[in-house]
Amino acid sequence: MAFDRFNIDTVFDFTGRKAVGESTQLPILYYKYNMNGTMTLLKCMREHDVQNFVFSSSCTVYGAPSPDNLPIKETDPVGCCQCPYAKCKYFTECLLQDLAQGEPDYWRIIIMRYFNPVGAHESGMIGEDPRGDPQNLMPKLAQVAVGKRPILNIYGEDYETKDGSPIRDYIHVVDVAKAHRKTIKNFQDIRGTEVYNIGTGEGKTAWDMVKAFEIACGKPIAFQMCGRRPGDVPKIYCDPSKAEKDLGWRAERSHTQMCADLWRFYTLNPNGYQDASVLRESGLNIEY
């Protein structure tokens, strides 16, 4: 296994399924993969004396916060989850807290609560290539623009927001990657667990993202309005100041850049990754 072949210092756990709507339909699948995988990984780490662990968690652990509690801070209540996906993340966070309390002088754990990562690398060579029916707004939006999908479903038009669509804190995937790089230098100061919100601190509606993507791709997006989707919350965005203070990180890219970079990826890769060797043969040197 990898722990036997390599001298591993830090483990980043990006595993698991991540669609809110799908999790309400397939809860057993989510509990099986999203929790068992992390537990197996932690067991292997302990057996090979690897102490540094970064867990990809989610803003969904905060549930449906009231407008008075926005922006969300890391110290705000968690656990009032709206879907099985969120519960898996919350239960895993509980496991990590218990693990650290059981061996307080051993584990160094960072929990990163993502707020809707989107976009692609600006080169257009690396991006999201979902298999089957994507469950998130932005890949569906891009698939409509590139002609792979006839119409975009927008779930909910009666939320108490400026245009009736739900509000999310969209963050560029490259900013997320840079946040992970920052954690490597901070493990020497960690004992037990630390939690960080990874977002921009600004909320955008679904319509904001559709309009920005229409500008990026230069064409109107065909859409139809649908009812609210089970598990979705009306609005959520974060206070990312703790990550800036502790890690020296903050998001730098706007929602318009997220849309422009995502469209560039789909323009260059309309059918996704047909052959994984394309990246290897390109000789591309990706810098974050």
* Catalytic machinery residues: 85
How many CB atoms lie under 10 A from the CB of residue 25?
12
Q: Residue 189 to residues 73, 96, 195: CA-CA distances in angstroms?
A: 21, 18, 13
Distance CA 94, CA 89 (A): 9
> For residues 182-195, b (16+ Cβ closer than 10 Å) or e, as one string?
bbeebbeebebbbb
Query: Residue 246: left if φ>0, alpha if ψ -120 to 50, beta else—which one?
Result: alpha
Strand 10-13 and strand 52-58: the pairing is: parallel
Strand 52-58 and strand 108-114: the pairing is: parallel
For 161-221, where are the alpha helices, taking DSSP H only? 173-184, 206-217
- Edge-to-edge strands of the sheet including 10-13? 10-13, 52-58, 108-114, 192-198
Strand 117-118 and strand 10-13: the pairing is: unpaired
The closest alpha carbon to 88, from 42, 41, 27, belongs to 27
- 117 neighbors 255 (Cβ within 8 angstroms): no
Q: At 202, list the tokens.
A: 């600004």
